Chain A
Amino acid sequence: MGDGLMHTLAFYFLAGITLAAATGVVFKRNLVHSAFLLSVTFLGVAGLYMTLEAEFLAAVQALVYSGAVAVLVVIGVMLTQRDDMSKSNPPNKMVVAGASAALAIVGVLVWAVVATPWKTGRGAVVSVADIGRRFLTDFAPPFEAVALLLLAAVIGAVVLFKGGKVQS
């Protein structure tokens, strides 16, 4: 995507959707609404990847996050709720402290972003072939480690779900 008007409009549209949905995730009192808005947030981020010319990453984001992770979260909500859904996602007693901490960190980040003289240029266009080549050359050891991690996560999740005796 170029740097023209379309890019600007697409950026503000997608950023608005992403941040609005993320706000909903955090502030909605109904956990099911939060879970579905989380999916919308992930799709907004996938759109932002498209505006950054990272098409493969956008596809992976839509598949893995908006597909798999969001479905897992919805199943988790379904399995662990008993009472009235409309009060399933309350805030705790730390709202003021949490808001202060979050605002402080955002303040530092915004200051760092604005105050830094970024040397921006135009990165090379990254094709899927480039990513695949990097995975199998420079990043081959972490790639194999991630394969092992996913296997361990799947087996661990199955063992934890299946249960046995949970000591309480």
Chain B
Amino acid sequence: MIGLSHYLLVSAALFGLGLFGLLTKRNLIAVLMSIELMLNSVNINLVAFSRYTAADASAGQVFSLFIIAVAAAEVAVGLALAYAIYRGRGTVSVDEIDWLKW
């Protein structure tokens, strides 16, 4: 019998994988991919809560749709930024994008 906690555990694992990628990837595009994984895990949480609790059911799905829209905007602008940086510097390695390093 699959319940709420099964979905929450899958979501936690997905979030952990995304966080690990975010912290350890050297390529800017790979960092963006990891952020997408984390956003997806949050969406699983919201939809699972809307399915398995008797509270306001459609609000969870509406929130997820907002997150999907924001994530699409984020990835479009993020990739455009990555390309702009690549054109200026010839690299997308986050180790070399360190102009703000003090």
**A residues with CB within 8 A of B:** 3, 7-8, 11, 15, 18-19, 22-23, 25-26, 31, 34-35, 38, 41-42, 45, 48-49, 51-54, 56-57, 60-61, 64-65, 68-69, 72-73, 75-77, 79-80, 82, 88-92, 94-95, 97-99, 101-103, 105-106, 109-110, 113-114, 118-126, 130-131, 134-135, 139, 142, 146, 149-150, 152-154, 156-161, 163, 166-168
Across the A-B interface, the 3 shortest Cβ-Cβ residue pairs: A98-B23, A153-B73, A160-B80
Complex contact A156–B80 (CB within 8 A): yes
Is chain A's binding surface mostly helix, strand, loop or mixed? Answer: helix
B49-102, CB < 8 A from A:
50-55, 57-62, 64-66, 68-77, 79-90, 92, 94-95
Interface size of B as a range: 35 or more
Q: For B95, what are the chain A residues with a Cβ–Cβ distance below 8 Å? A: 92
Restricting to B12-32, which residues have a CB under 8 Å from any CB of A? 12-30, 32
Given known A-B contacts A76-B79, A120-B53, A105 and B73 have beta carbons under 8 A apart: no
